[in-house]
Amino acid sequence: MKCKDNTILITGGSAGIGLALAKAFVEAQNQVIICGRNEEKLAAAQADLPDIATKRCDLAQKSERSELVTWVLAHYPAINVIINNAGIFEETDLLSDSFDFDLIDQQLTVDLNAPIELALRFLPHLRQQTQAAIINISSALVYSPDAGTPFYGVAKAGIHAFSQTARYQLKDTHVKIVEVLPPRVDTPGLNNALDADQIGDAMTPEETVEEIMKGLSEGKDEIRIGQAKWLYIASRIAPAFVNKKVNEQINKARNAQ
């Protein structure tokens, strides 16, 4: 994919990996639009990157998702790249006597339904562009899920399957489907969930984005970052052993909080 002269929407571009992506794409001479729920975070990103556009949007809300698409198409008709990056990471204890179904619904909406809906809503427009891409940020946990966050795992596995099926169906169009599978990255999102110091091997958002930009310029369909490369191979050789090790490591970090 060309990494210059695009018009790019990055969902959740006000923090973590999304903000680092926004910086990298602005530096590489692209028009960048970011969205998120918190106006202050959007304003802080814009103070740092005056050339970006921002739009407040809660992707958990159907009306706001549809308003975002209408707004982007009206104000940035050259839009040719959608980066489905916004995500949340919620624990669910399956041994509990009751469940927060609103939270489960929110997890599945933000991490699975919203990226699919945005992809489908923008697709007819993207198919008219000479070059276009939908970039879905899933997770290395696609290969070996964290038992503490079952519905995050469900959502990311769904994004993996959607990326594969969309890539196949769109193979004869100008729309490229890319999936990015990051390992643990030291972001506000990860720090809310786990003690990153206890993990020790979390990458920085900047290192992560450097690998994403390299993978995009090399035309990769699936960009496995850092330890995701190892997990991809190891989970195929010894899936049960690897899943046990992954969960032991995550639980150690979770319990250290």
Ligand X SMILES: NC(=O)c1ccc[n+]([C@@H]2O[C@H](COP(=O)([O-])OP(=O)(O)OC[C@H]3O[C@@H](n4cnc5c(N)ncnc54)[C@H](OP(=O)(O)O)[C@@H]3O)[C@@H](O)[C@H]2O)c1
Q: How far is the CB of 243 from ligand X (least distance, A)?
A: 16
Residue 15 found at the interface with ligand X (CB under 6 A): yes
> Is 152 one of the annotated active-site residues of the chain?
yes
Length of the chain equals: 257
Binding to ligand X, residues 203-242 (CB under 6 A): none
Find the distance separating the first CA and the last CA of the chain, reported in whole Å.
40
Q: How far is CA 132 from CA 3, 78, 80, 125, 252, in A?
A: 11, 10, 5, 9, 42
> Does residue number 148 form part of the binding site for ligand X (CB under 6 A)?
no
Nearer to ligand X, 58 or 179 (CB): 58
Determine which one of 143, 152, 168, 232 is catalytic. 152
Q: Is residue 58 part of the contact set for ligand X (CB under 6 A)?
A: yes
Question: Is residue 145 close enough to count as binding ligand X by CB under 6 A?
Answer: no
Contact 167, 221 (CB under 8 A): yes
Among residues 77, 100, 161, 188, the one that binds ligand X under rule CB under 6 A: 188
- Minimum distance, C-beta of residue 30 to ligand X, in the bound complex (Å): 18
135 binds ligand X (CB under 6 A): no
Please list, in sequence order, all residues whose beta carbon lies within 8 angstroms of the beta carbon of residue 223, skipping any fewer than 6 positions away.
Answer: 178, 179, 180, 181, 211, 212, 215, 216
Interaction mask 92-131, ligand X, x per CB under 6 A: ------------------x---------------------
SS3 208: helix
Pairwise CA distance, residues 144 & 247, whole Å: 9
For ligand X, which is the closer residue by CB, 129 or 247? Answer: 247
Looking at beta carbons only, is 59 or 133 nearer to ligand X? 59
Nearer to ligand X, 6 or 54 (CB): 54
Q: Quick check: 132 and 175 in contact, CB under 8 A?
A: yes
Q: Which stretch binds ligand X (CB under 6 A): 79-87, 92-100, 162-170, 213-221?
A: 79-87
- The H-assigned helical ranges of 76-204 are 101-108, 114-126, 150-169, 188-193, 196-199
Which one, 182 or 215, has the nearer CB to ligand X?
Answer: 182
| By the rule CB under 6 A, 136 interacts with ligand X | no
| Residue 5 vs 201, nearer CB to ligand X | 201
Side chain identity at 143, as an amino acid letter?
Y
User: Any contact of residue 41 with ligand X (CB under 6 A)?
Assistant: yes
Tell me how far apart the alpha carbons of residues 206 and 17 are, in angstroms, rounded to a whole number: 8
Among 9, 32, 88, 223, binds ligand X (CB under 6 A): 88
Give the residues lining the site for ligand X (CB under 6 A).
11-12, 14-18, 35-38, 41, 57-60, 85-88, 110, 137, 139, 182, 184-185, 187-190
